[in-house]
Amino acid sequence: MPSGHAWVAAVAVLVATDSSMVWAGKDTHTYKMGEDVVVWTDKVGPYNNPQETYEYSTLGLCELEGDDIAVEQGELSIGETLEGHAFFSSPRLDIHFGQNKPQTPLCNMRLKDEQTKALATMINDNYWYQLYIDDLPIWAFVGEHSKFAVDVSRFSMMYRDNNKSLQMPSGSAPPVPKQLKGKPLPRIYTHRHFTLFYNNDQIIEVDMEPSSPWPIYAGAPLNFSYTVLWFPTNKEFKDRTNRYLDPKFFEHKVHWFSIVNSFMLCLFLCAVVAIILMKTLKSESQGL
């Protein structure tokens, strides 16, 4: 039985290679230097149940919210609809072809009570989400489990250093409430590091590594950010989906144990039939 990861990879290959998947302005898969590269959000769901998926917006994060952005909905084929895809652009992720970008703020938010419970449940259930860049899939977990108690002083210092844009009043309480001291909390990743490889005017590979986990609790200040790095590669465009194939998933293994077991069973049955025939013939010969 293939693992959940193998099923996810297999489905992603079929989707990534589907010629019907076309998104606005990127039908040719060619870009000019500095041209906008759209990041499409797709779906989110528990890792242990790939068939259970929801729209990316169910995370309730600030990435797709706000009157200052225009979120575009991608077109879906019948197959993509049946597979539960829901493509929405993420305009806050401002990526340009061939241009590196240092750490850049994405959006800021404070967690409400209902958001805290929902995100904590998702992280504890190992929820992962899926993005697409130029028809290439990216997977990442929403957050991570924490087996250790929250260090209030450490996160307070991190808050002062990294979350100044939220403009907390002076003398306010530390970001992690003191009553949570000594309790492990699920943590959400607040930073994404995109690594993209290109060959001439085409995108060949995309990777994304989440980092900077922040504890989940009511009122938590979340400062999301991202970085982008581009690297040239000699890999051909036609080979760019090969990396998503799981050799173990598609490999035809020879199950020697089953073959030997079947062979021994056949020998046993043949021996039983032979013994029955011999006894029958012997009894008949004695009767003569």
For residues 234 and 266, state if they share a domain. no
* pLDDT tens track for 117-132: 999 999 999 999 999 9
Q: Which residue, 207, 192, 190, is CA-closest to 119?
A: 190
Tell me: pLDDT of 69 over 90.
Answer: no
Return the pLDDT at 248. Answer: 63
For residues 230 and 170, state if they share a domain. yes
For residues 241 and 260, state if they share a domain. no
For residues 195 and 266, state if they share a domain. no
DSSP 75-132: P--HHHHHTT---EE-TTS-EETT--EEEEEEEEEE--HHHHHHHHHHHHTTEEEEEE
Tell me: pLDDT of 253 over 80.
Answer: no
Return the pLDDT at 166. Answer: 43
Q: Which residue, 58, 86, 40, 229, is CA-closest to 142?
A: 58
Beta strands 221-232 and 101-110 are antiparallel
* Cβ–Cβ < 8 Å for 106, 224: yes
Return the pLDDT at 86. Answer: 85
Q: What is the mean pLDDT of residues 223-228?
A: 95
Q: Give dist(CA 114, CA 126) in Å, integer.
A: 19
List the domain range (segments joined by +) for residue 37.
4-250
* Model confidence band, residue 246 (pLDDT cutoffs 50, 70, 90): low
DSSP conformational letter for 73? B
For residues 106 and 21, state if they share a domain. yes
For residues 206 and 273, state if they share a domain. no
* Model confidence band, residue 180 (pLDDT cutoffs 50, 70, 90): low
Return the pLDDT at 163. Answer: 52
What's the burial of 76, exposed, middle or buried (CB within 10 Å: 0-12/13-18/19+)?
middle
Task: Tell me how many domains the chain contains.
Answer: 2
Q: What is the mean pLDDT of residues 252-268?
A: 81
For residues 181 and 282, state if they share a domain. no
Q: What is the mean pLDDT of residues 108-113?
A: 91
Least confident stretch, 36-40, 59-63, 163-167, 199-203: 163-167
For residues 218 and 285, state if they share a domain. no
For residues 111 and 194, state if they share a domain. yes
For residues 69 and 130, state if they share a domain. yes
Query: Six-digit token pair at 180?
Result: 């949570």
Return the pLDDT at 172. Answer: 39
For residues 193 and 275, state if they share a domain. no
Mean pLDDT value across the chain? 80
For residues 155 and 28, state if they share a domain. yes
